[in-house]
Structure 1
Amino acid sequence: MILKKNEDLQSKYEELAAIDKRHFMHPTTSFKQQQEQGPKFIFTEGKGIYLKDIRGNWIIDGLSSLWNVNIGHGRPELGIAAMEQMKKLAFSSTFATNSHEPVIRLSEKVAEMMPGDLSMTFFTSGGSEANDTAFKTVRHYWELKGCFGKKKIISRKKSYHGVSVGASSATGLPAFRAFPSLAPDFYYVDSQIESLKNLIKEEGADTIAAFISEPIQGSGGVNLPPENYFKEVREICDQNNILFIADEVITGFGRTGKNFGMENFDAVPDIMVIAKGISSGYAPIGGMVISEKLKNELIELSEGVFMHGYTYSGHPMCCAVALKNLEIIEEENLIGNVRNMGDKMQEGFKWLKDRHEVISDVRGMGLLGAIELMKDKDTNTSFEQPLSVKVVEEALNHGLLGRSIIYEGQDTLAFAPPFCINKEQVEKIISIIDTSLTKVLKG
């Protein structure tokens, strides 16, 4: 009977995999690999930190899927919130001053959570749109002020800001910019404060609209900033009349143990970009939040219409889901759990470092962490296949989904589990990493 069930599950997988290969173009995927191998998993269910695939395997979602399922999988409250909103008002446009209660309530809640005087949100469907919105807004702002030359956007190397044309152009990882006709006026600096000062001097502050940075770089390797980096960035931006944009798409809404990543570094930006954790991935929503000062200046300086908006800006259902998500995070003190379990995860990473010579560094904050692996000690060169790729593949055999980061010669394992994780589950992740490293190193 069990054998028959397994055969049925495999048959169902094969049926769907064949359709997948014919008709679904996957994001960030090798076209050839998709056609040759088909989908690695076809997920059917999620519960807490776990995902279940169509063949009946339960797997720990060690990256919260795409750093975004913060409250964990399978929360019926969010489905109920979506249903109740769709029964009343599934959609209405927010163009030309039209509005609805969910977007009004959500914008108020976001403003309450924000540091400093960040107070007004333009909603989007995700992070890439939110970053493009920020770039258009800062350029529009400087044009209104008569500073027509202030168009350039500076970002950091190893940064990630999205995959729309503007967001790709801002991304500091060359692999994401490897396509024709990038958007103009984007520049990149390393993470030393002198590099930023030098570029401003070379290009001229009167040509620079904004500086953008993630508080902690995510896809670039879970890289923390140098000490006092963002305090100095804030001062430099103020001194040179440059707007400061914080990309909190990954770090926002609790991932680092505070509401927003910048709160760990005592710096308040002029603009904050949000997405992912605002709805824990249960609905596609993001946004750009601007300061009270910037809002007031835009009101004072504007005469016509700011010709920018997406069909789904402030989608009623997405806003209702986001509100319920933020309510759960608050009522269940999940950010407190992020701090506690984040400490446990970092303790586990340090234990792994003591056990495995191949680990050169462990780092992170809250439930956002990385394990960096060394190059081959004998040759001082990268392995033919990065170790992190092999470890991620082996960890899947033991029920753990993680991420390998190999951009720019890195060899890094990244983890960002859901906020609902408990001590035993953290220990299970550490145990699987340990087992997987041991097996890969033994060959």
Structure 2
Amino acid sequence: MTMKTVESVQRKYEELAALDKKHFMHPTSSFKQQQERGPGFIFTEGKGIYLKDIRGKQVIDGLSSLWNVNIGHGREELGQAAMEQMKKLAFSSAFATNSHEPVIKLAEKVAQMTPGDLTMTFFTSGGSDANDTAFKTARYYWQLKGKSEKKKIISRQKSYHGVSVGASSATGLPAFRDFPSLAPDFYYVDSTIESLKELIAREGAETIAAFISEPVQGSGGVNLPPPNYFKEIREICDQNEILFIADEVITGFGRTGKNFGMENFDAVPDMMVIAKGISSGYAPLGGMVISEKLKNELIELTDGVYMHGYTYSGHPMCCAVALKNLEIIEEENLIENVLNMGAELQKGFKWLEQRHEEIGNIRGIGLLGAVEILKDKETNTRFSEPVSLKVVDEALKHGLLGRAIIYEGQDTLAFAPPFCINKQEVETIISIIDKSLTEVKMAGLK
């Protein structure tokens, strides 16, 4: 770029940054940092696994933005699908049994993809309101069955289920519950079967409506379940008349190398929560999928109105975009690429472990992976200051956007790149992590 162009671009950035600081309240951000530093990147375009900001800097989107841009950035087919639908029918309400073709076809497609007898979907705008819908529906179901005392929801520590009042209350990461007057009747267990059994015994199965879990915890650190965990969870829920809810917001639609994360663990829930990957982030969309059994019981138990619905439940344009997104995932065999490139990512992590004694606790499934940074791997001791934050900052300088997870004393680097990534691009990610960690270590670790 010429000097004049550089100056023009910088001026444009500064103008937007000033407006950002003045008018835009950022999600999950520091108020003070926003005012002191302004926006980090102002992204203007994306292509494949890459994002570019207004000043021309290109970075690899190592986390698919928020675990959601599964097919990658810049797919014009999705924009075309949105335009075609908006020209025909931009919006119509789905209340009072009204419907439209995109939502019907998407509900059918989801039913074809989900495991077991999960066949009916209630659509929302995202994961938080989908989880709230699941909690309300679970409690409503037990009320209809004359067991209104069954209202407690159990979730796992280090779980993440969203930020609406109900979803925040279910989230097992205390930092997300640091708000006054969250919803009552939410309980937390660690990731052992014994912990759940003890809580059920203490609280009484007759008071518990549902147990919810991510197949693989995402924001909590990319934590896989213990062996046979969900098979045992399924049995315990059946024995105690507790509904089993799977939060597939991150793991759904191919992220783990299967359509849904629970398919890796041979367990079928009563309810499934979906979002993110259903549209690859091109349109805001989520949903709650319920089993055929639950659907039939709800039909039999009431003649009244299900008094729950969002203005944008089953939005026509969002559904059209989701259908095209799922078509691309199938036609381009992207889930197969998830398996292949996931293996390359894990191989890269192991290479890093050989080069850096601080790398440990390598884990992952499909294109969902993480490593921890440890001072002493034998004792699982961490450094006094989170090293992952420094590595992520350094990696940005080299063109990689990753995520540091430091909740609950962790020091974890997490990655979940788009499904379209290739072997060379995986190797580039690993190379940048290697270089960044080396530079952080040279500056000194505490």
Q: Same fold (TM over 0.5)?
A: yes
CA contact (8 A) 1:121 1:287 kept: yes
Give 3-state SS (helix, strand or coil) of 2:350's partner. Answer: helix
CA contact (8 A) 1:353 1:361 kept: no
Q: Paired residue for 2:368?
A: 368
Q: Paired residue for 1:181?
A: 181
Distance in 2 between the 1:11 and 1:56 partners?
Answer: 13
Q: Paired residue for 2:113?
A: 113
1:381 Cα deviation after fit = 6.4
Give 3-state SS (helix, strand or coil) of 2:269's partner. Answer: coil
Distance in 2 between the 1:150 and 1:361 partners?
Answer: 38
Kindly indicate whether residue 124 of structure 2 is the aligned counterpart of residue 124 of structure 1. Answer: yes
Structure 1: runs of 5+ lacking an equivalent: none
Q: Paired residue for 2:253?
A: 253
CA contact (8 A) 2:389 2:404 kept: yes
1:24 Cα deviation after fit = 0.1
1:380 Cα deviation after fit = 8.5
Q: Paired residue for 1:292?
A: 292
Give 3-state SS (helix, strand or coil) of 2:360's partner. Answer: strand
1:3 Cα deviation after fit = 2.1
Q: Paired residue for 2:96?
A: 96
User: Could you give the per-residue CA deviations for residues 64-103 of structure 1, whole angstroms, max 9, x where no partner exists?
Assistant: 0000000000000000000000000000000000000000
Distance in 2 between the 1:127 and 1:4 partners?
Answer: 45
Within 5 A, what are the aligned runs for 1:30-429? 30-375=30-375, 382-429=382-429
1:376 Cα deviation after fit = 6.9
Q: Paired residue for 2:437?
A: 437
- Aligned partner letter, 1:297: E
CA contact (8 A) 1:141 1:298 kept: yes
Give 3-state SS (helix, strand or coil) of 2:226's partner. Answer: coil
Distance in 1 between the 2:163 and 2:302 partners?
Answer: 30
Check 1:225–1:259 CA distance in 2 against 1; reply closer, same or farther (3 A cut): same
1:20 Cα deviation after fit = 0.2
Distance in 1 between the 2:27 and 2:376 partners?
Answer: 32
- Aligned partner letter, 2:212: I
Distance in 1 between the 2:361 and 2:208 partners?
Answer: 35
- Aligned partner letter, 1:219: S
1:9 Cα deviation after fit = 1.2
Give 3-state SS (helix, strand or coil) of 2:4's partner. Answer: helix
Give 3-state SS (helix, strand or coil) of 1:362's partner. Answer: strand
Distance in 1 between the 2:381 and 2:10 partners?
Answer: 41
Structure 2: runs of 5+ lacking an equivalent: none
- Aligned partner letter, 1:190: D
- Aligned partner letter, 1:197: K
Distance in 2 between the 1:382 and 1:364 partners?
Answer: 20
Within 5 A, what are the aligned runs for 1:14-33? 14-33=14-33
Distance in 1 between the 2:132 and 2:353 partners?
Answer: 39
TM-score, length-scaled by structure 1: 0.99
Check 1:362–1:380 CA distance in 2 against 1; reply closer, same or farther (3 A cut): closer
CA contact (8 A) 1:144 1:302 kept: yes
1:199 Cα deviation after fit = 0.5
1:10 Cα deviation after fit = 1.1
- Aligned partner letter, 1:315: H
Give 3-state SS (helix, strand or coil) of 2:7's partner. Answer: helix
CA contact (8 A) 2:373 2:382 kept: no
Distance in 1 between the 2:210 and 2:376 partners?
Answer: 40
CA contact (8 A) 1:63 1:416 kept: yes
1:296 Cα deviation after fit = 0.2
- Aligned partner letter, 1:237: C
Distance in 1 between the 2:204 and 2:404 partners?
Answer: 38
CA contact (8 A) 1:349 1:430 kept: yes
CA contact (8 A) 1:395 1:436 kept: yes
1:244 Cα deviation after fit = 0.1
TM-score, length-scaled by structure 2: 0.98
1:384 Cα deviation after fit = 4.6
**Percent identity among equivalent residues?**
82
Give 3-state SS (helix, strand or coil) of 2:6's partner. Answer: helix
Give 3-state SS (helix, strand or coil) of 1:198's partner. Answer: helix
Distance in 2 between the 1:277 and 1:43 partners?
Answer: 21
CA contact (8 A) 1:119 1:292 kept: yes
Distance in 2 between the 1:375 and 1:26 partners?
Answer: 34
CA contact (8 A) 1:248 1:273 kept: yes
Number of aligned residues: 443
Distance in 2 between the 1:192 and 1:247 partners?
Answer: 18
CA contact (8 A) 1:211 1:245 kept: yes
- Aligned partner letter, 2:292: E
Distance in 2 between the 1:308 and 1:405 partners?
Answer: 35
Distance in 2 between the 1:296 and 1:380 partners?
Answer: 49
CA contact (8 A) 1:127 1:274 kept: yes
Distance in 2 between the 1:383 and 1:83 partners?
Answer: 51
Dislocated runs of 4+, deviation >6 Å: none
Distance in 2 between the 1:131 and 1:375 partners?
Answer: 37
